[in-house]
A and B are shown apart, each in its own frame.
Chain A
Amino acid sequence: MTKLVGNKNKIYSLENKAKRFKRDINQWSIITLIIGFIIAIPIATIFFKLFSGPGETWNHIVYTLLPKYVLNTGYLVVGCSILVLLMGVSTAWIVSRYDFPFRKQLEWLLILPLAIPSYITAYSYAGVFDYGGTLELLLRYFSISAIKIDIMNMYGLILILSLSLYPYVYVSARTVFLTQANNLIEASRLLGVGEFKTFFRLLLPLARPAIIGGLILVLMEVLNDYGAAKYYGISTFTTGIFRAWFALEEPETAVYLSAILVTIIFGLILLEKWQRQKIGYHNDIKSANRLLRKQIQSNKKWFLLSLASIPVILGFIIPVMQLLYWVGLTYEEVFSFEFLSIAGQSLGVAILAALLTTIFALGLIYFTKWNKLHFIKNLSKISTLGYAIPGAVIAVGVMIPTLFIDKWLYKVFRSVFEINIGLFINGTIIGLTYAYMVRFLAVAYNPIESSTLKIGDKISESSKILGKGNFITFFKVDLPLIKKGVLSGLLLVFVDVMKELPLTLILKPYTISTLAVKAYEYASDELIAEAALPSLLIICTGILPVIFLNKLITK
């Protein structure tokens, strides 16, 4: 008897599985899989390259260089974490909790350093503290004898990277303080707890997941940095990857080094996931009211103002002033019609890449939603890993499979249509945009995903119950609700593409150049002053989206 039941159950479950399988294989899951596959190819390529073994100098690197890479990268990670947390969290708290003159302006000014690529901040600071640099000239003007401050070392690099990256932490901390802190503060004050204790015991733990999320983004950027570390003479993993790949001509060794780097980054991501899980309440507390600002005495007001402006002055105003000075020296030579057209191309490429990346991210999120399959959802997450991988490594990952397809297409077209098409994807705008998508998908995916999580499924489900299809529901119901997330995704990808360098250098087509490439060309020819104009334009295109993003957060 029991046997029979067991069998029946088995048959039942098999039938069930078959049914489920049939239900699961539909157009949405297939499209999701295809998108996921396309995006994952380059990452998978790099992964499989690992099995072909490292190059012959691997041992040499392990014994002579690896300890240094690990040590330097470790210093950078620890140093930047401390500075970034100090600057990001304190400023976020000051502008959300207290009222003081120019607070509103400061709110968005504090995000602006993000608009400057960190290698450009590094160059301009080198210019400030250089022999015969701006600082020395200023001091000489006031006839003070010059003191030489050497910025081109590990401490300098930590400072520079922190100054250009702290806004990631600032933005995420401020969002939590603004939207979730009010009730808690009121309760804690009612119970007679002081300001300091409230902050450290209540608000900091509350904002911790968001802060750590921002910190992880900072650390990814730190680990990816190439330009600043190289110029300051600090050997890190990323400079090591370039050395192994280009100076030693061993892409295999470079892939091994990047595998270590990627493992570190995944470790950080897992750490973040784990700490988020441990604190599961962060989403439940939502203040209905925005945080009320505290009124304070006027002398304290000025103190807070000057304290919170330090990161803006150091991270934005000083580098931009230095760049402006250089532009004044060199604009006549640099500015031309050709330069304008490069600026136009830069914008065009960035807009195209931002649009496509956002559409792909929307597709990944919504197709998996309509499909409700867990394993596909996880799969779609994998395809957002590109952001953790250095641009140059992505470029290799894109180059290998696209060339394979190109060669195949070439043969097909030649034998069937008797046309020579040349390379169709590689070294064209298609390949370049594709690589940007792989690299920056996460940048669009995360804000969109978090805004869909916020609205939940209930509203769109009601729409479907009322007989509207997936697409109509998406365009009429979901899209207006997640507009903020979509726009922030779009803008963030845009800014990132404008700044992107290594990947663009390797994959860009003949006819196209970007501002970042132009700035790099000047800088690599030791014409750092000439690089100022294109750098300044990159910053300008970054400022508007940043201000806009700030509006989105505070609204």
Chain B
Amino acid sequence: MKYLVWISVFFLALSCKTDKKNEATEKAPEVVETKEVNVYTHRHYPSDQELFAQFEKETGIKVNVVNAKADELMQKMTSEGEQSPADVLITVDAGRLVRAKNKGLLQGVTSAVLEKNIPAHLRDSDNAWFSLTKRARVIAYAKDRIKPEMLSTYEDLTSDKWNKKILIRSSSNIYNQSLLASIIAHDGGDKAKSWAEGMVANMARSPKGNDRDQVKAVVAGEGDIAVVNTYYIGKLLNSKNPEEVKAGEGVGIFFPNQETRGTHINVSGAGVAKYAPNKENAIKFIEFLSSKNAQEVFAKANYEYPVNPTVAPSELLASWGTFKEDVLPLAKLGENNKKAVLTFDEAGWQ
């Protein structure tokens, strides 16, 4: 009996070996109408869940979600290869979308709806990914001590007047990596390196904590200005903790580089996975997220700027005024990401 089992296992193994040769000819595209879409996402906001539920209700397509850090999701997709169940990858940073595309994890899709809803510089040139929301990396300054006229550009932050005055988080944070990557793309590696070194020299303390912590430290007087994302200021102002609200109210928002290339922005975005088993549903899903209704939900709930030009930002964001944004193709952020990380290390930016 035992031997029979072993023999049958052996033949099974053999049979699949011989099958390999025929695979190419045998493979016929299966046309099965599936009613689900598998989403690998770095975003885990209630507003997203609300939108997913709405999509399920409208289309009857079930949304299965895997939540993890984008880097880990990409590793997962890489190892899963052709068998990956992922249909859509959503990340909170353009750089990662570009890396996903370069690793062959995404596929280009054609969709008139997406091309209409999303401006060209916020899409991949091959339509492998599409931005869904925007955040600006701005300078938050202490209202009581600093006049906005003193501020001008990211480059100006390295000048002596900000010595021991700047608060910014660690270089392992992707928003800092993307900011430096944009500087590399605009001005080249050498200038970027001396910028990073200048920043390190002007830091009020060694980098620690998150964006919110930097704002709190500015209000408490540990430094005068902080480089942070608009999104987190919104979060602070709407916090349950009255002390955090106070911190949010203590800073003003300055959009740097208005006279030059524009303020650095970063995006959340989505792409269709290379081996998506439910490709049609995946496209429908992203189209839905770029639609006017969904973009309004994004804009309201999460203090992010919508990418769909027909949708206005929320009241709070509108109160900070409009700004000129850096229209550098976001793909450049991904291309220069690794170089940015290495530059940070060389500059001693923790």
B110 within 8 A of A: no
Contact flags A132-164 to B (C-beta < 8 A → 1, else 0): 110001000000000010001100000000000
Say yes or no: B240 contacts A529, CB within 8 Å. yes
Interface residue stretch chosen among A175-183, A283-291, A509-517: A509-517
Q: A65-B345, A232-B208, A423-B83 are in contact. Are A525 and B172 (CB under 8 A)?
A: no
* Contacting residues, chain B, for A242 (C-beta < 8 A): 172
Mask: chain B, 214-228; 1 = CB below 8 Å from A; 0 = not: 001101101000000
8 A Cβ contacts from B32-47 to A: 38, 44-45
Query: Which bracket fits the contact residues of A?
Result: 35 or more
Contact with A along B82-106 (1 / 0, CB 8 A): 0101000000000000010000000
* Residue of A249, A506, A527 touching B99 (CB-CB under 8 A): A249
* Pairwise interchain contact B69-A231, C-beta atoms closer than 8 A: no
The binding surface of chain A is classed by DSSP as: helix
Residues on B with C-beta less than 8 A from A245 are 71, 75
Asked if A132 meets B243 with Cβ closer than 8 Å, knowing A64-B346, A230-B172, the reply is yes
Which of B67, B244, B350 is most buried by chain A, counting CB atoms within 10 A of its CB?
B67
Complex formed: what's the CA distance from A131 to B209 in Å?
12
| A231-B81 Cα distance, complex, nearest whole Å | 33
Minimum CB–CB distance for B209 against chain A, Å: 6
- Contact of A529 with B208 at beta-carbon distance under 8 Å, contacts A249-B338, A410-B83, A411-B16 already known: no
In the complex, residue of chain A having the shortest beta-carbon distance to the beta carbon of B215: A131
Whether the pair B350, A233 counts as a contact (CB closer than 8 A) is yes
Q: A235, B67: Cβ atoms under 8 Å?
A: no
User: With A and B bound together, what is the CA distance between A517 and B68 in angstroms?
Assistant: 9
Nearest CB of B to A332, in Å: 9
A233 touches B207 (CB 8 A): yes
A238 → B minimal CB distance (Å): 12
Whether the pair A247, B240 counts as a contact (CB closer than 8 A) is no
Cβ contact within 8 Å between A403 and B79: yes
Check A329 against B341 for contact (C-beta < 8 Å). Answer: no
Q: Which of A385-413 contact B (CB under 8 A)?
A: 396, 399-400, 403, 406-408, 410-412
Structural contact, A506 and B72, CB atoms closer than 8 A: yes
Is A505 a contact of B19 with CB atoms below 8 Å? no
* Chain A residues near B81 (CB-CB < 8 A): 403, 407
Residues of B within 8 A of A133 (CB): 243
Query: Which of A137, A247, A400 is within 8 Å of B341, CB to CB?
Result: A247
Chain A nearest CB, measured from B309 CB (Å): 27
B350 / chain A contacts, CB cutoff of 8 Å: 233, 235
- Measured between beta carbons, the chain B residues less than 8 angstroms from A517 are 67
Check A415 for interface membership: any CB of B closer than 8 A.
yes
Q: A426–B64 contact, CB under 8 A?
A: no
Q: A64 contacts which of B19, B76, B345 (Cβ < 8 Å)?
A: B345
Closest 3 CB pairs of A and B: A233-B208, A132-B243, A246-B71
A-B contact pairs, 20 of them (CB 8 A): A64-B345, A131-B247, A132-B244, A233-B208, A245-B71, A246-B72, A247-B172, A329-B241, A333-B240, A400-B79, A403-B83, A410-B83, A412-B16, A415-B16, A422-B83, A422-B85, A506-B68, A510-B65, A521-B44, A529-B241
